[in-house]
Amino acid sequence: MAIAVIAIVFGYAGLGLLVAIPMCLVGLGRLDPAAAAGTWGFRVLSIPGVMVLWPVVLGRWLKRGKA
């Protein structure tokens, strides 16, 4: 059970890292215009947040893409 929880946590974070790279390069600016002009420090600092909230962030990014 505990190993399953740990595997889920690390698996979720791993997928989040995959999403975080394109998101921090181009995606953040699509979600919030103020982020388009964000510094590189801000983009790097956003990576852990994207890893945590990647389903929300990815969902909104895709939604904006369709709109």
Partner 1 sequence: MSVQYRAVNWTRHKVVYDLVLAGACVAFVGVFMVMSMVVHPPPNEVSPPILVMRALGTLAIVLLHVVLAIGPLARLWPRTTFLLANRRHLGVATFLVAGLHAFVVYGFYGGFGVENPVLAVLVRPDGSVGFEFVGFLALLVLLVMAATSHDFWLALLGHGVWKAMHMAVYVAYALVVAHVVFGVLRSEKSLVFPLLLLGGALVLGGLHLVAGGREWRRDAASSDESEDGWIDVGDPHEIPDKRARVVCLGSGNRVAVFRDGDRLSALSNVCAHQGGPLGEGEILDGCATCPWHGYQYHTENGQSPPPYTEKIPTYELRVRGGRVEVNPRPNEPGTPTTPVSITEGGAS
Q: How far is the CB of 39 from partner 1 (least distance, A)?
A: 5
Q: What angle do CA 50, 54, 56 make, to 5 degrees?
A: 115
In the complex, what is the shortest distance from the CB of residue 67 to partner 1, in angstroms, rounded to a whole number? Answer: 16
- Nearest to partner 1 of 15, 38 (CB atom): 38
Binding site for partner 1 (CB under 8 A): 1-3, 6, 9, 28, 31-32, 34-35, 37-39, 41-42, 44-46, 48-49, 51-53, 56-57, 60
User: How many Cβ atoms from other residues are within 10 Å of residue 51's Cβ?
Assistant: 19
- Per residue, the 3-state secondary structure of 28-64, as one string, reads HHHHCHHHHCCCHHHHHHHHHHHHHHHHHHHHHHHHH
**Closest separation in Å from C-beta 22 to partner 1:** 17
